[in-house]
Amino acid sequence: MSRYHDLRAECCEANRRLPQLGLVDLTFGNVSVADRAAGVFAIKPSGVDYAALRPDDIVIIDFDGNTVEGTLLASSDTPTHRCLLREFANCEAVVHTHSRHAVAFAQAGRAIPCLGTTHADYFRGDVPVTRPMTPQEINGDYEWETGRVIVERFRSLDPSEIPSVLVHSHGPFCWGPNAAKAVETAQALEIIAQMALHTVFLRPDAAPLSEALLTKHFCRKHGDSAYYGQ
């Protein structure tokens, strides 16, 4: 048995959840899961159908980008995952999807505004969008530069308080302390993107959620003062 069996199984299950939750079409998405003690992360192989995915298909990569275990090619988005896992210390799993409502905001180059308490339960403020990538970044090490543009966007933001981003003209990346939580965040992101889209359609001048209500809803679920749940 592979020494990374449990890591591969967690990664496989998280990837298989994406189509079940309606977060991906075709094979447009992937999940990675880190084992920092071992210095590696697991990620979906490129272009493999989710229904056919098995733990043995999952590829193990070290933080320098070398394949440690696996016979299939890793996701083409692997460098972006590797960049985020390296740069965001509390990030243990990364989810990338092309979920439709979140992508609509990404394609518009618009952050998802925090308009209600559902949003505030998961994100302490607007979900940001990156700047457009330059031709040099696109024609260079594209997937790695995608990660760098995300990291650049978070220079003044806390990735543990806003665990998602929209890559301009592309789509969302989300992260969390484990694969299940990162997938849940990706699902929440798509839900609040749909809600925001409908809200802005009904009322283009809708006011953002008040700072008091935003803080209350975020802090009752996160941090030392959290009291939501068991």
Q: Which residues are catalytic?
A: 121, 228
Type of residue numbered 12:
C
Listed in sequence order, the residues at least 6 apart from 99 whose beta carbon sits closer than 8 Å to its beta carbon are 22, 23, 24, 171, 172, 186, 189, 190, 193
Phi, psi (degrees; rounded to nearest 5) at 41: -140, 155
Which of 22, 31, 92 lies closest to 58 in space, CA to CA? 31
DSSP 8-state class, residue 125: S
* d(C-alpha 185, C-alpha 175), whole Å: 7
| Backbone angles phi and psi of 18, in degrees to 5 | -60, -50
Q: For residue 149, give the nearest of 129, 163, 123, 179 by alpha carbon.
A: 129
Residue 153, amino acid: R
CB 182 within 8 A of CB 93: yes
Nearest of 85, 75, 82, 91 to residue 30 by alpha carbon: 75
Residue type, 177: P
